[in-house]
Chain A
């Protein structure tokens, strides 16, 4: 049985609760053990590195150091947490001097032996797609999905876990579940990140463009692997529609929710009833046996 240190960050227990629940449920089902990093702290999100790069590295390095003590690689669902944790891992490996600085900041040892991995990467690496197909209880046949990767899993190159222009990890997993993956134009565009909160005129405009592209593609839903993207596309969907006079009703799912659904995990158990854009109806259709 594979075992990872699990880093939920600040969102997976709160605004991204579905992501946390679905990740843990899916991993349990697939036999991947998750050990939550005790007393973990915030990774600094999109704020720390804008103010002080050392702060960003230090905050993430502490979590990584705790995982390293336990001898585990870290599985990270949140794309922002992943990106910052990976940056810390790479920084200590960059040079002995850099490592000494970071270790001094956190007052712990971190050699970079414990690696930061996005949950998408963990699943893409450990799943045999043929075996996965055999495990599917509710095939997603007929479900038209656009996969949305955003920035933090695909850029910059040294941190990215998938291709910068045409990533495919999520596509492969969802396609194996029977879903139809549609091409679209916003696969790796930025959702606006924290601008939706700090500068809504800008941030929500960015979110709106992605929703518009998803709508144009003819997809039933959007799959994502980032709680920040989810927050913007799901929670801000009504606001974007109002601000730009559009009419949306596009459910947004964490890819782990769709994976869990296909594997027969109860959608409520994964918190799928806690979305802003109603998400249960589409899921229940497949729980009842999908498109006939």
Chain B
């Protein structure tokens, strides 16, 4: 396929991304300072710089499929040092949100972890570690991961066996519902633009 055709294909996603993230990917001059300082770069399938390149060229679909956007730890080192003031970390974050909405998940375990975490926040208003570890292990199918930490945590009186609950449950529900409402509205606007 020609570059022109590939760009055509990714045009929708690119526009949505631009609208959502407000990041000026075109400013990037591919110096690689982001990737050089990235603590996760060595584990990524493509460099953060290359993610920016894909976006810059309008090959956003390809960026959405990468593992890199899921491995980004949002440590902001890249954005802080970028000589062109491109907020790379925010672009990664937006790509990830967009990918998730489109059902493309490059790193399933990471995604599941965050789901379990937020489910708990939704339910109780706070998180408690036992629930988090159990929940994660059940959803990822890795049942015995970290069980050796459960006991020491307990012995050191550092975890609650039962969750602490926020009393204003209705407020938490409202936050989740309204936030989703606004996120969807924003996404829709970006897609229609």
Contact = CB atoms under 8 A, between A and B. Distances in A.
B129 interface: yes
B119 to A, nearest CB: 10
B80 A39 contact: no
B179 A52 contact: yes
A101 B182 contact: yes
A198 B73 contact: no
Contact of A156 (B80, B156, B164): B80
B111 to A, nearest CB: 8
Given A10-B128, A48-B118, A55 B179 contact: yes
A48 B121 contact: yes
Given A52-B97, A106-B171, A276 B71 contact: no
B110 to A, nearest CB: 5
Interface in B93-146: 93, 96-97, 100, 107, 109-110, 112-115, 117-118, 121, 125-129, 132-133, 136, 145-146
A52 B114 CA distance: 11
A74 B155 CA distance: 32
Contacts, number: 169
Contact of A62 (B79, B136, B175): B175
A201 B126 CA distance: 27
A193 B70 CA distance: 13
Interface residues of A, number: 55
A106 B175 CA distance: 5
Interface string A246-290: 000000000000000000000000000011100000000000000
B190 to A, nearest CB: 13
Contacts of A188: 77
A41 B179 contact: no
A222 B81 CA distance: 25
A284 B3 CA distance: 67
A194 B113 contact: yes
B136 A197 contact: yes
Contact of B176 (A55, A57, A164, A198): A55
Interface residues of B, number: 61
B157 interface: yes
A193 B75 contact: yes
A288 B110 CA distance: 46
Contact of A46 (B74, B79, B109, B167): B74
Contact of B129 (A14, A58, A190, A276): A14
A240 B23 CA distance: 36
B157 A105 contact: no
B179 to A, nearest CB: 4
Given A55-B175, A190-B39, A50 B74 contact: yes
Contacts of B115: 51
Interface of A: 10, 13-15, 17, 39-42, 44-55, 57-59, 62, 101, 104-107, 151, 155-157, 164, 188-190, 192-195, 197-202, 205-206, 209, 235, 274-276
